[in-house]
Amino acid sequence: MKPQGLFLGYVAAALLGLGAGAASAKTIEAVASFTVLADVVSQVGGDHVHVISLVPPNGDPHEFEPSPDDAKNLKAADLTFLSGEGLEGWFERLVKASGSEKKPVIVSTGIKTRTMEDDGKTITDPHVWNSAANVIVWVANIEKALAAADPEDAADFKANAARYTTDLRELNAYAHTKIDAVPRARRKILTSHDAFGYFGREYGVTFLSPLGISTETEASAADVAKLIEQIKKEQVKVYFFENSNDPRLVEQVAKATGAQAGGELYVEALSKADGPAPTYAKMFRYNVDQLTAAMSK
């Protein structure tokens, strides 16, 4: 019996070896909820991961109508990445439509979140990525999930994560340096919706907006009137459009207060490849440059 057991052991080892070799040659098929996250996943995954974003470039991640193709992609994916904290309210419906049974990876786990009052309710602000410091937490969570799914390539994921974390630390320092140079009284900006809470907290800028945390809720006439009062009182001079949602309300408020257009910000969606914000790093730097230029005028 003994020699036979040994032989079987060899066969099992050979099969395991083969299996591991095949896994390493294989590319992980990943789905990410929106473009900002898809880019960060692909920075950490490198050549070993193919990433599809469900919400397209310039799309609104709060309000999204998934297509049958999205359901197919979700079902076929080895890994699914969500930011979490209430951003992807549409995801549960998509899971049901797809029949997928895999649990998504929630990359914002471990981030020190902030809460806000929205229609009398206290809710968590989902826009964590607008602070580069928070994206470092995303990277650690993504690396862990990729290494668990594809242990053969764990060393590569670790190296990619370390390199990209260095980039993020530099971006964070860049934002601090540029914004520290703007006098505090001038660091006030009007935007369409409340997507810069984490940016404001990290870098010391006040953002005011007619829409709450999510683009799904509508601002009441009373909310808008109150905001106009506040903007006049605090002498907010600049307003920004957002690439991923309707500019009419912010234009209306700006008109009533005399605030000047500062340009467009990329708040929760990357641009297309030929636009100014095709990656998270470019998006973040672009926003910092636009904001500091407007506040310094």
211 or 231, CB closer to Zn ion?
A: 211
Question: Tokens 């601002």 sit at which residue?
Answer: 219
Q: Tell me the residue nearest to Zn ion as measured from the CB.
A: 195
Q: What angle do CA 129, 251, 275 make, to 5 degrees?
A: 45
Stretch that binds Zn ion, among 2-10, 33-41, 138-146, 195-203 (CB under 5 A): 195-203
Which residues touch 214 (CB under 8 Å, ≥6 apart)? 62, 86, 89, 118, 126, 193
88 or 150, CB closer to Zn ion?
A: 88
Which residues touch 254 (CB under 8 Å, ≥6 apart)? 190, 239, 260, 261
Binding to Zn ion (CB under 5 A) within 247-276 occurs at: 268
Taking the complex as a whole, the smallest distance from the CB of residue 87 to Zn ion amounts, in Å, to 7
Taking the complex as a whole, the smallest distance from the CB of residue 245 to Zn ion amounts, in Å, to 8
Taking the complex as a whole, the smallest distance from the CB of residue 167 to Zn ion amounts, in Å, to 24
Contact track, Zn ion, 153-182, x by CB under 5 A:
------------------------------
User: Which residue in 47, 271, 68 sits closest to 150, CA to CA?
Assistant: 47
Residue 195 binds Zn ion (CB under 5 A): yes
Taking the complex as a whole, the smallest distance from the CB of residue 69 to Zn ion amounts, in Å, to 24
Residue 31 binds Zn ion (CB under 5 A): no
The span from the CA of 98 to the CA of 71, in Å, is 4
Taking the complex as a whole, the smallest distance from the CB of residue 180 to Zn ion amounts, in Å, to 26
Residue 237 to residues 13, 19, 190, 198, 240, Cα–Cα distance (Å):
69, 62, 8, 21, 11
CB burial class (10 A; 0-12, 13-18, 19+) of residue 227? buried
Stretch that binds Zn ion, among 140-148, 193-201, 217-225, 248-256 (CB under 5 A): 193-201
Task: Kindly list the residues in this chain that would bind Zn ion in the complex (CB under 5 A).
Answer: 195, 268
